[in-house]
Amino acid sequence: MKKLNFLYLIFLPSISFSSGIYNPSSSGGSSSGTISTGGTSQMAYYASSGTTVSGAPNTAVTVSSVTFLEPVQMTTTVVNGSFLTKGIVNTNAASYQVLGTDHIILASAPASGMTITLSSSSQNLGQVLVITKVDATTYPVTINGLGGEVIQGTGTLKLNAFMQTDQMVALGVVNGSGTWTPWGQGLQFTPDQLGPGEKQNTTSTINVASQPVCESFYTSVPVIIDSVTIINNGVVDPLVDVGIYDTGGKRMGSAGTFTPVLGTQRIPLTALTYLPPGIYWECLVCANTTSQFASNAYSTNMPPNEQSCTGAAGNIPLPATLPFPCNAARNVSYAMWAHVVGGAQ
């Protein structure tokens, strides 16, 4: 396929083809031959004057003397100079080999996990794939490039949470390797942890017994949380609870009351906690005001992603709901963070 010096954009909404010669002009183009409208595909492509189009109605449309740059609708893509409407695949097998005709893959991982091997990027230039984990388990869906082909510079991706999705397009051979790159919404990498994290420059105590201290965090991808880490720097409270709330004040998950230890402690939640993309609050509550926790103090306003506040007193263990926004802002961020099942990739 040769690259053209002069390219025109033709947009063909809801159209199927038999055969014809397309002679586009700068004013939008004209055509001759037989065209059947009302088909099932929408597509756009760059073509040169005199481009020949042929193919049976509602099937692949073969175009000669054209350089395809990109598809414009998820249901249609370009493979070796042909438009193809891709298929939707539902699979719960331990392994699946992607076909050149696949488009949307709904993966329900078995207990052993699932491995999806992509089709050849070098042989399926322009193929768009949308791969979604549709089961609510923690069993991973692993996505591998075929042979030595790469996906955004790596050979492997993982989906760890319900509705986590990777969308990509085949670029063919780039720098000597078959290459897939993010497309549409892109790749949803699983983070390792969420929350203010391990930053600390001081030690802080809880101001009011049984009053939750909450800090905001954001996740851009669906995740499953299994535990929260805190750091006790001094006196250890005999009774502590940690949990996660949504912005409406609903408790998404918590550890239940426990006796902490001095130093860094990772506390498991009572159940795996699924979080769709959005803003959430990590909350810590102690039975008294003597516990000392590693924290990070700010001389001015805290960063927007580390807002900290206090809730109503008398809430240990953490209740099913808390009033948000909290009633008092703070300039101290406790060193605590939530751990994501699957970790970083």
For the stretch 177-215, pLDDT in tens is: 899 999 999 999 999 999 876 667 788 877 778 888 888
What six digits make up the tokens of 296?
Answer: 């990070």
What pTM, to 2 d.p., does this model score? Answer: 0.72
CB 284 within 8 A of CB 207: no
Q: Which of left, alpha, beta for 230 (phi over 0: left; psi -120 to 50: alpha)?
A: beta
The per-residue pLDDT for 111 is 95
- Closest to 318 measured CA to CA, from 252, 274, 260: 252
What confidence category does residue 31 fall into, taking pLDDT thresholds of 50, 70 and 90?
A: very low
Which residue(s) pair with 287 in the sheet?
none
Does 11 score more than 60 pLDDT? no
User: Could you give the residue range(s) of every CATH 2.60.120.380 domain in the chain?
Assistant: 193-340
What integer is the mean pLDDT of 218-231?
94
- Residue 265 φ/ψ, nearest 5 degrees: -135, 125
Does 226 score more than 50 pLDDT? yes
Most confident range (mean pLDDT) of 69-83, 248-262, 321-335 is 248-262
Residues in CB range of 21: below 8 A, 6 or more apart: 31, 32, 33, 50, 51, 52, 53
CATH class of 87-187: mainly beta
Does 275 score more than 60 pLDDT? yes
Of 12 and 171, the structure prediction assigns the larger pLDDT to 171
Q: Which of 50-64, 191-205, 260-274 has the lowest mean pLDDT?
A: 50-64
CATH class of 193-340: mainly beta
pLDDT in tens, 99-119: 999 999 999 999 999 999 999
The per-residue pLDDT for 295 is 83
